[in-house]
């Protein structure tokens, strides 16, 4: 063991003590403590304790004034105690508040958030204060040492491994090895079994909606059919298929279908339309697109009529309605599916056909 004491350059009277001599068992010698004088290829570095040459350390008040140091210590302690109080508030919010009214739910939430926030903030603030005022403020440099083990150590590790294989008897007792493989292989399959808990595969359910040829487009607000004249140039109408109303209101059938079939109508000047996903899929400047964002499925509705951009409020994916619903910004990976439309004999907007691609988040395509 070597011990070296270095007087601090700050005048604070602090001492650094280096106990970095290697005491680890030497693999090459079968675990015996290494002789410090043996096999010394490079000089021992004083890791992390060398003062940066040329830098003068200006002592802080807490370095030279014991009263200031004591005060800083009390402040750090106070912050830690305040953190304890914050944690208690958190527990009170969780256990002591009965969630029997909206006010109490709000109160509990505030106590949980406020208590936890206070506790974490105080621990962080105490740690920073401690480091800035009381820990050593000197700039030190840490030399890098060689990471590669010596040839002797590497050889010893290989030898140890080979001895371990030999001691286990695996080369002689092949049946046990076979048993081990037989025991672990089925174990690796257990995650697949657990995957079944994610529910039945959706099959084609996510690929199909109730939109088919001739289904009328209803306003989602009034649930009345829409004519072209009902939509002003630059206008936007949230819409649903008429057949949605035929589904039972009880249970989740109608809600689930609404989540897939919701569409939106936008009316542009025909000359403003750059492209569509199919020939004549719009009608007199009215275009119909799925209202479900192709990123992770938020409902769209922030329409900027001057640029014809549709913005998703969740992660700001932006689709160009005038240009085939193309993604012009954000994380969505797929253009917005367009629904081909026309009008029926009464002049109401109807679907020409169903969607030709899955609507909703992109992972639905793999359903």
Residue 330 in contact with ligand FES, rule: CB under 6 A: yes
Residue 237 in contact with ligand FES, rule: CB under 6 A: no
Residue 263 in contact with ligand FES, rule: CB under 6 A: no
Residue 336 in contact with ligand FES, rule: CB under 6 A: no
**What residues contact residue 15 under an 8 Å CB cut-off, 6+ apart?**
5, 6, 7, 8
C-alpha pair distances (Å), 150 with each of 47, 145, 154, 155: 19, 13, 6, 9
Classify residue 268 as exposed, middle or buried by CB count within 10 Å of its CB (0-12, 13-18, 19+). Answer: buried
Residue 285 in contact with ligand FES, rule: CB under 6 A: no
Between 72 and 266, CB nearer to ligand FES:
266
Between 300 and 351, CB nearer to ligand FES:
300
Q: Which residues pair with 4 in a beta bridge?
A: 18
What is the helix (H) or strand (E) element at residue 288, kind and residue range? Answer: strand 286-290
Between 265 and 311, CB nearer to ligand FES:
311
Q: Distance between CA 291 and CA 271 in Å, rounded?
A: 24
341 within 8 A of 282, measured Cβ to Cβ? yes
Closest CA to 2 of 22, 24, 19: 19
Between 317 and 324, CB nearer to ligand FES:
317
State in angstroms the smallest separation of the CB of 290 from ligand FES.
Answer: 12
Q: Provide the Cα torsion 300, 305, 306, 308; round to 10°.
A: 50
State in angstroms the smallest separation of the CB of 298 from ligand FES.
Answer: 4
In the set 92, 107, 112, 298, which binds ligand FES (CB under 6 A)?
Answer: 298
User: What are the tokens at 24?
Assistant: 């680890």
In the set 17, 214, 315, 344, which binds ligand FES (CB under 6 A)?
Answer: 315
Residue 290 in contact with ligand FES, rule: CB under 6 A: no
State in angstroms the smallest separation of the CB of 361 from ligand FES.
Answer: 7
State in angstroms the smallest separation of the CB of 318 from ligand FES.
Answer: 9
Strand segments (E) across 10-96: 15-18, 50-51
State in angstroms the smallest separation of the CB of 208 from ligand FES.
Answer: 22
Residue 328 in contact with ligand FES, rule: CB under 6 A: no
140 within 8 A of 14, measured Cβ to Cβ? no
Between 270 and 313, CB nearer to ligand FES:
313
264 within 8 A of 233, measured Cβ to Cβ? no
Q: Distance between CA 247 and CA 255 in Å, rounded?
A: 9
In the set 238, 247, 273, 296, which binds ligand FES (CB under 6 A)?
Answer: 296
State in angstroms the smallest separation of the CB of 329 from ligand FES.
Answer: 9
Residue 312 in contact with ligand FES, rule: CB under 6 A: yes
Of the listed pieces 57-65, 204-212, 259-267, 329-337, which binds ligand FES according to CB under 6 A? Answer: 329-337
Residue 331 in contact with ligand FES, rule: CB under 6 A: yes
State in angstroms the smallest separation of the CB of 296 from ligand FES.
Answer: 4
Residue 314 in contact with ligand FES, rule: CB under 6 A: yes
Q: Distance between CA 69 and CA 62 in Å, rounded?
A: 4
Between 178 and 313, CB nearer to ligand FES:
313
- The site that binds ligand FES (CB under 6 A) totals a number of residues, namely 12
Q: Distance between CA 241 and CA 219 in Å, rounded?
A: 9
Q: Distance between CA 102 and CA 81 in Å, rounded?
A: 32
- Contacts with ligand FES, residue ranges (CB under 6 A): 293, 295-298, 312, 314-315, 317, 330-332
């Amino acid at each position: 063991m070597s011990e070296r004491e270095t007087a601090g350059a700050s005048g604070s009277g602090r001492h650094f003590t280096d106990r970095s001599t290697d005491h680890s068992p030497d693999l090459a010698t079968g675990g015996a403590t290494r002789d410090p004088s043996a096999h010394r290829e490079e000089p021992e570095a004083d890791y992390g304790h060398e003062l940066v040459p040329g830098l003068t350390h200006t002592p802080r008040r807490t370095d030279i004034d014991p009263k200031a140091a004591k005060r800083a210590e009390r402040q750090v302690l106070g912050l830690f105690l305040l953190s304890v109080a914050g944690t208690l508030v958190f527990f009170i919010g969780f256990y002591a508040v009965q969630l029997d009214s909206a006010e109490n739910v709000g109160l509990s939430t505030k106590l949980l958030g406020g208590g936890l926030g206070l506790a974490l903030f105080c621990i962080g603030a105490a740690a920073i204060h401690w480091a800035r005022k009381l820990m050593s403020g000197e700039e030190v440099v840490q030399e890098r040492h060689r990471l590669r083990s010596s040839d002797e150590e590497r050889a010893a590790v290989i030898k140890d491994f080979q001895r371990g294989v030999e001691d286990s008897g695996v080369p002689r007792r092949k049946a046990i090895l076979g048993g081990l493989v037989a025991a672990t292989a089925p174990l690796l399959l257990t995650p697949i079994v657990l995957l079944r808990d994610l529910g039945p595969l959706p099959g084609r359910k996510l690929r199909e909606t109730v939109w088919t040829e001739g289904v009328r487009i209803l306003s989602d607000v009034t649930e009345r059919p829409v004519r072209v004249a009902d939509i002003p140039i630059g206008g936007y109408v949230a819409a649903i298929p008429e057949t949605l109303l035929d589904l039972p209101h009880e249970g989740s059938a109608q809600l689930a279908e609404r989540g897939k079939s919701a569409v939106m109508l936008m009316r542009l000047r025909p000359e403003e339309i750059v492209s569509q996903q199919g020939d004549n899929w719009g009608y007199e400047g009215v275009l119909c697109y799925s209202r479900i964002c192709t990123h992770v499925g938020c409902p769209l509705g922030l329409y900027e009529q001057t640029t014809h951009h549709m913005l998703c409020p969740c992660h700001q994916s932006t689709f160009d309605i005038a240009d085939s619903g193309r993604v012009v910004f954000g994380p969505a990976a797929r253009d917005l599916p367009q629904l081909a439309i026309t009008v029926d004999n009464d002049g109401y907007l109807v679907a020409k056909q169903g969607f030709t691609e899955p609507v909703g988040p992109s992972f639905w395509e793999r359903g």
